[in-house]
Amino acid sequence: MDILTSLKNPKVQEWRSLKEKKAREEQKAFLVEGVRMVREALSSSFDIKVLLLRDDYHPEFDLPSDVPVYVLPAHVFQSVTDTKTPQGIAAVLSLKTQEASGPRLLALDGVQDPGNVGTIIRTADAAGFDGVILSSDCADLYSPKVLRSTMGSIFRLGFSFPASLPDMLYSVKNEGYSIISSQLDGDPFYDRQNVSSRFVLIIGNEGNGISDPVKAVATHRLRLPMRGGAESLNAAVAAGIMMYDLMR
């Protein structure tokens, strides 16, 4: 184990910069923190570049012998991590492209709240979906808040980042997938008919919903019933209801 004590150390500055999307793209790396996320990362197929330990933290599990480990004093570790009270362990991973594929896919069209994106991904994993497609204007998958909200589900699903979401949806539609657009002016969700065993469920932007070019691709335009006084549901809540019922 190497001990790094200075905030000005080049490695520390490099790890700290991973809080920003530009740095993640330049380094082709991202950082996860906390016992659960690190354990999930170690058991995944992602490449672990380094492990970071706070100097008063003692790991609860065996660390791999082939991964460099750096020990940091509390103030240095705090500068690298994003949470106010970090647990004392973090890992830097290489960015990995594992395309979303399989019969049950989710597409996010401009979902911009990191908590929503992470929660939807976690729910997709729990419900049994195979992968997630993210439009270019979604919150960044590898941002600290999205990663925390996934609770490790990022390591179990495939993800695609098409330059054009409508074009990708057209492509899978031609392969026989049903394209389900969740929208307030759609047909009743629970009365849906003729949904293929292969489908893509689309969740739209929190304020504006699904974009018109994406709606144009849909084979099904569906809405959840709103029997009370609320005009709409939180995007992550609506996504969870629809995902579980489609899997049922």
Q: What is the pLDDT of residues 71-120, one digit of tens each?
A: 999 999 999 999 888 899 999 999 987 799 999 999 999 999 999 999 99
Give the rounded distance of the alpha carbon of 158 from its chain centre: 10
Domains and CATH numbers, the chain: 2-94 (3.30.1330.30), 104-247 (3.40.1280.10)
CA distance 189 to 221: 8
Phi, psi dihedral angles at 137 (to 5 degrees) = -100, 15
Q: Which token pair is 70? A: 């750096």
Cα–Cα nearest to 158, from 73, 99, 80: 99
Cβ neighbours of residue 132 under 8 Å, at least 6 residues apart? 100, 105, 106, 107, 108, 120, 121, 124, 157, 158, 159, 160
CA distance 120 to 151: 11
Whole-prediction pTM: 0.92
**Predicted local distance difference test score (pLDDT) of residue 85:** 87
Are 41 and 13 in contact, with CB atoms under 8 Å apart? no
Give the rounded distance of the alpha carbon of 37 from its chain centre: 13
CA distance 137 to 77: 31
H/E stretch holding 80: helix 74-80
Beta bridge partners of 84: none
Are 53 and 3 in contact, with CB atoms under 8 Å apart? no
**Predicted local distance difference test score (pLDDT) of residue 1:** 80
Residue type, 141: L
Q: Dihedral sign, CA of 49, 17, 44, 108?
A: negative
Buried/exposed code over 108-132 (b: 16+ C-beta within 10 A; e: otherwise) = bbbbebbebbbbbbbbbbebebbbb
CA distance 30 to 17: 10
**Predicted local distance difference test score (pLDDT) of residue 232:** 84
Average confidence (pLDDT) per 10 residues, the chain, 248 residues: 92 97 96 95 94 93 92 96 92 90 97 97 97 96 96 95 96 97 94 96 95 97 92 93 96
**Predicted local distance difference test score (pLDDT) of residue 180:** 98
